[in-house]
Amino acid sequence: MNNDDYFKISKYAHVFFVFLITGLLFFGSTNNTMAEDGSVHDPLIDHGELNYHYDECIVNTFNSNFHIDTSNIAAINCKYAFKDDGLHQYIMTEKLPNKIKDYTDQNKNDKKIDSYEKNTNHQSLWRFVDDDYTPTGYNDGHEWGIDAFNVIQDAIDYSNSGDTIFVHNGIYQDKISTFFGYITCRIDKSLTLIGEDKNHTIIDGNHSRIIEVKTSSVTIKDFTIRNASDDNNCLFDNGIAIYSPSQSHLSIKDINITDCIFTQNSESIQMLSSTSNVKISNCYFHNNSDISIYSGNGTSNNISIENCVMECNGKSYGAFFSTGGIFLFSHSNISITNCISQLNVGFGIGVGCKNNLRIANNILNNNSDCGIFTGGYSTYNNIIEHNELFNNGIFDEPGLSMMTGGILLQDARNFVIRWNNIFSNEKGCGISYLRSFDNDIFENNIYNNLYNAFFLENEYRFFRGNHWNNNYWDDWNGRGLKIIQGYVDFPLPQDPYNYVRWCHFAMNPAEEPNDLYY
Q: Is the pLDDT of residue 79 over 60?
A: no
DSSP, res 108: -
Q: What is the mean pLDDT of residues 260-274?
A: 91
* Residue 117: predicted pLDDT: 41
Count Cα neighbours of 208 within 13 Å in the Cβ-side half-sphere.
Answer: 15
Q: Is the pLDDT of residue 118 over 50?
A: no
In contact, 64 and 80? CB cutoff 8 Å: yes
Q: What is the mean pLDDT of residues 73-77?
A: 31
* Residue 449: predicted pLDDT: 95
d(CA 265, CA 288): 5
* Residue 222: predicted pLDDT: 98
Q: What is the mean pLDDT of residues 317-321?
A: 58
pTM here is 0.77
d(CA 8, CA 458): 29
In contact, 331 and 356? CB cutoff 8 Å: no
Q: Dump pLDDT digits (tens) for 432-458.
A: 998 888 899 999 999 999 999 999 887
Give SS3 for 403: helix
In contact, 146 and 135? CB cutoff 8 Å: no
Q: Dump pLDDT digits (tens) for 230-257.
A: 654 444 578 999 988 665 567 899 999 9
d(CA 262, CA 253): 22
pLDDT band at 17 (very low <50, low <70, confident <90, very high): very low
* Residue 176: predicted pLDDT: 82
Q: What is the mean pLDDT of residues 203-215?
A: 89
Q: What is the mean pLDDT of residues 401-425?
A: 90
Between 80 and 151, where is the model more confident? Answer: 151
Q: Edge-to-edge strands of the sheet including 53-54?
A: 53-54, 89-93, 80-84
Which range has the worst mean pLDDT, 9-18, 248-257, 265-274, 402-411?
9-18
* Residue 320: predicted pLDDT: 53
Q: Is the pLDDT of residue 16 over 50?
A: no
pLDDT band at 182 (very low <50, low <70, confident <90, very high): confident
Q: What is the mean pLDDT of residues 396-423?
A: 84
* Residue 316: predicted pLDDT: 73
**Structure-derived torsion over alpha carbons of residues 423, 429, 431, 435, reported in degrees to the nearest 10:** -170
Which range has the worst mean pLDDT, 309-313, 321-325, 345-349, 426-430?
321-325
pLDDT band at 363 (very low <50, low <70, confident <90, very high): very high
* Residue 167: predicted pLDDT: 98
- Which spans in 187-285 are helix H? none
Between 129 and 81, where is the model more confident? Answer: 129
* Residue 460: predicted pLDDT: 63
* Residue 498: predicted pLDDT: 80
* Residue 467: predicted pLDDT: 93
- What are the Cα distances from residue 239, in Å, to 207, 236, 341, 444? 10, 9, 19, 37
Among the listed residues 407, 490, 499, the one whose alpha carbon sits nearest the alpha carbon of residue 454: 407
Which range has the worst mean pLDDT, 36-45, 190-199, 279-288?
36-45
Q: Dump pLDDT digits (tens) for 346-359.
A: 889 999 888 899 99
